[in-house]
Chain A
Amino acid sequence: MSPILEIDNLSVALPRGADRALALEGVSLALEAGEILCVVGESGSGKSMTANATMRLLPVGVGVAGGAIRFEGRDLLRLPEAEMRQLRGSRIAMVFQEPMTALNPLRSIGDQIGEAFRTHTALGRAEIERRVLGHLEEVRLPDPRTAARAYPHELSGGQRQRAMIAMALALEPTVLIADEPTTALDVTTQAQILHLIRELQRKKGTAVLFITHDFGVVGEIADRVTVMQSGRVVESGSVADVLDRPQHAYTRMLLAAVPPLTAAPARAVSAEVALSIDRVSKTFVTRGSGLRRRSTRALHEVTLSLPKGATLGVVGESGSGKSTLAKCLVRLLAPDTGAIRLADVDLAQLSRREARRATARIQMVFQDPYGSLNPRRRAGELVAQGPIAHGVARPEALARAKALFALVGLDPAATDRYPHEFSGGQRQRIGLARALALEPEILVADEPVSSLDVSVQAQVLKLLAELRARLGLSMVFITHDLRVAAQICDRVAVMKDGSVVEQGLASEVFGAPRHPYTQALIEAIPRRR
């Protein structure tokens, strides 16, 4: 049987001045009818570019340099734009990573799904409405009638992605391209969406080109796998072949970098408490009066303690309050009630001025390596800023910044470069150096590796563990990824809706979870079944 979609020796050129000449170099892959082909790779591997090239939706300045994309025997690259438009949405559909930005915020869900029918068919209004409801039911949105009238912001992330899938599958396309459709979702929601895609694909016989960076997701959903690295296909094969008997060194490296969900052997942890969080609560009240005033309970009587020299993992899904907790710890937010005791000082009770002085003792590493560094400051200055604000002379602070660069594994000569000249992993090291510059006792790390590729993730985690031992740091490690938490945490607390539902030694929580929510989280981690 000939493949339904065949990419043949495709090359895509980047504009001049980009970091490499070709985004894709001789990429070939074949998608058979009714199968799910996963394209896996790290950022910059060209996996999304492959998807966009297939839809002929390449960014301005990026052009196809050679090759062919055959869909049902026709070369998509040579079709006139009008015919391509006919295909898009009706025969080849696409689901994007971030459903909030992929949906038009000013139009209702039903209206946007109906658009596909209005554009590609001559159906009447009543019939379109009936079909829209049918599709919303099919993706199992609760109460399809309400969902059809809802606007994107009124749905949750998972519901929005369901709506996107309903939209993509509205005209029963032969090929569905899904570009990281579950990356922005919580792990339990991700499990549901993966299940839904698999089920609809089986029912309708759609061929799915599934782009992902996560080998767990691959194991969960793929029939066949293509691994990409820097614009080239390095390995292709059945899911069993690639995952169990990887041939290429890069595939082996990627697979090895995926952390297992088994806690590292327990370390001896001091009995001395470095930080104790005692019944901390925080409620957000939105501005407004009367009925429009809404309050959200972000933290409810959270009690945790961090032993000296240990790492306390705080895990939970979005909205669980874990980031609010981190912000309360470094006093970016003031808790409503409760105490945060660092040795003899209650951080929650400090005035703003005192809190600013106390910042040296408890420092934070942020999630986003792009957003957390001021783009207009040199890297060395960013690191030296903290000590300067706390009274260290400028030349001395800059000299210390160089030493810190060496400590976090960066070239000390790179201190006079700007943040955009560093890679994501390197920037995260700059953020770490900035936090360490004040010689804190406690380091609060808020999702420090979540936006990094798995191979870089492993390096940064290793660095954190090394520094913890060398500098005697105690660490609060916030993450949504249980596998990451298992790698580095001595103790783990699981949060849900602002409360801690379970806490204990990492090996206990991951090995024998007691709370049903913890069990659900662990069960939802994507893996081979």
Chain B
Amino acid sequence: MIDPAEVGGVPQIGPPVVEVDDLEVNFKGRVGFIAGLMGRKGYDAKAVDGVSLTLHEGEVLALAGESGCGKTTTARAIMGLIVPEKGTIRFKGKVLPRAVGALRPYRRQVQMVFQDPTASLNPRQTIYEIVAEGLRIHNVNEGPNGEGEEQLVAQALSRAGLRPPERFYLLYPHELSGGQRQRVVIAGALVLDPSVIVADEPVSNLDASVRGEILALLMKFLEELRISILIVTHDLGLAWTVADRVAVMYLGRVVEIGPAEEVLQRPKHPYTKALLNVVPKAGGTERPILQGEPPDPTRIPAGCRFHPRCPVVATGRAERLGILGRCTGEDLALDQIAPGHDVACYLTELGEEP
């Protein structure tokens, strides 16, 4: 266990809120009817394959990676939306039950904000009904200070920046702009006074100019309400703006995790470096870009799962350093290289940079 006070030199980080241990999620492979009769079986997709993470109180943890790396699946498992094959998720020290009904009190504490606000909002409900729905589902008739339903909805809307709240009660989602819709989604999450918000690409569907405002809103809750945020994103620039710590995932595993300053400025895993290379920068496209498509989780390569695309292997550097055999043949786990900074790469044992 890492002392949270040491992590990234951010002293305000509190005790663990969500602890994920060795999480595994498989999606069953399917085959056609005839192939099934012939006894053929589909390949299972190992979307998440042994992920351990800790989210501390008052912390923003960014989960980054390409499409299909398992970042959203991890987030959904944490929400209790997917039952994992293996592994445990603890919330404030208690192991999550597997029965869906028993998850209800937990779901009140952990709220989710999805990518597309238009898809998350029921087009036939008014804004008031949308925000109040959570309260009704969880039978919350009274707030912590004796507030009624309307007061709680008004509070959540104005916290989410929709002021004056009364003006929005009777509007429908289509009458709002994209940014306002995402604020309604956030208000719906806030109304239940959660301790964790899981945000899956919360701004990638919004106009660039509106993104900052929505992020600033989330950052404000962090300070005012002492909540924790797990943010799932493919955008490392976003991680730089909001995250305390960054976890980079590849093919169902975390390959590097640590303080944002370290991971994003001094990456130790070749994959993290490759991801940073493709963040658009002024001055042309002349920099190394990883070839190939996002990998297939039904066919996980032996050894380090990144080795077929790894530039260190492709350039022959791994061979010169004498680690090629292990890269291609020996699976490896995360290894601590500094307090709070873990990397899964054979280069780090040699003290080499990617």
A, B assembled together:
no
Residue positions of A touching B, CB distance < 8 A: none
